[in-house]
């Protein structure tokens, strides 16, 4: 039985191995170009480099983008739809897309297409706020619900409207 101390360090990467790691990553995970580049850079830090010339992560990422193995627009739209279905607002979706490394212009286009009221209703339904609550909350509970909706990325006006509703409007059921 080998202990952690007796383990051999992994072999340093070369161009072919780095490309294979990238390919394995994009076949397993939906990714943006920035996330793929960060993954490859981390692997380089962990294992080192044995190639004759310096590692060209940007070239690998660009090649994968040309082959459409990674596509920031598709990744961002898919991620935004998933977050919107879970009830997150445009601001929170934009933060998530920024963390994934999407360009500001692309983030703006994607978050501009978010149905703010529908997402707020989905969040209220999931958390049992506003018209979905079993009973009317007291002032302290309502303030906590309001704060939760703001943290979820909804604007104050929409959050207040949803929390003040007593009946669900048929348009958003």
Q: Quick check: helix, strand or coil at residue 1?
A: coil
Angstrom distance (rounded) from CA 57 to CA 128: 46
Give this prediction's pTM.
Answer: 0.84
User: What angle do the packed helices 72-85 and 90-99 form, to 10 degrees?
Assistant: 140
Q: How far is CA 52 from the centre of its chain?
A: 36
Mean pLDDT of the chain: 92
Of all residues in the chain, the percent with pLDDT exceeding 70 is 94
User: For 69-105, what is each residue's pLDDT tens digit?
Assistant: 999 999 999 999 999 999 999 999 999 999 999 999 9
49 DSSP β-pair partners:
13
């Amino acid at each position: 039985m080998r202990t952690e101390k007796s383990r051999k360090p992994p072999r340093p990467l070369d161009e072919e191995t780095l490309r294979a790691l990238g390919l394995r990553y994009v076949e397993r995970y939906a990714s943006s170009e920035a996330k793929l580049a960060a993954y490859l850079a981390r692997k380089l830090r962990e294992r080192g480099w044995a190639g004759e010339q310096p590692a060209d992560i940007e070239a690998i990422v660009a090649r994968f983008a040309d082959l459409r193995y990674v596509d920031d627009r598709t990744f961002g739209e898919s991620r935004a739809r998933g977050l919107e279905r879970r009830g997150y607002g445009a601001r929170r979706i934009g933060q998530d897309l920024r963390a994934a490394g999407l360009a500001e212009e692309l983030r703006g286009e994607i978050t501009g297409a978010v149905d703010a009221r529908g997402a707020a209703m989905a969040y209220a339904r999931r958390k049992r706020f506003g018209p979905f609550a079993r009973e009317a909350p007291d002032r302290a509970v309502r303030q906590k619900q309001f704060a939760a909706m703001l943290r979820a990325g909804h604007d104050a006006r929409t959050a207040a409207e949803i929390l003040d509703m007593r009946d669900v409007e048929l348009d958003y059921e």
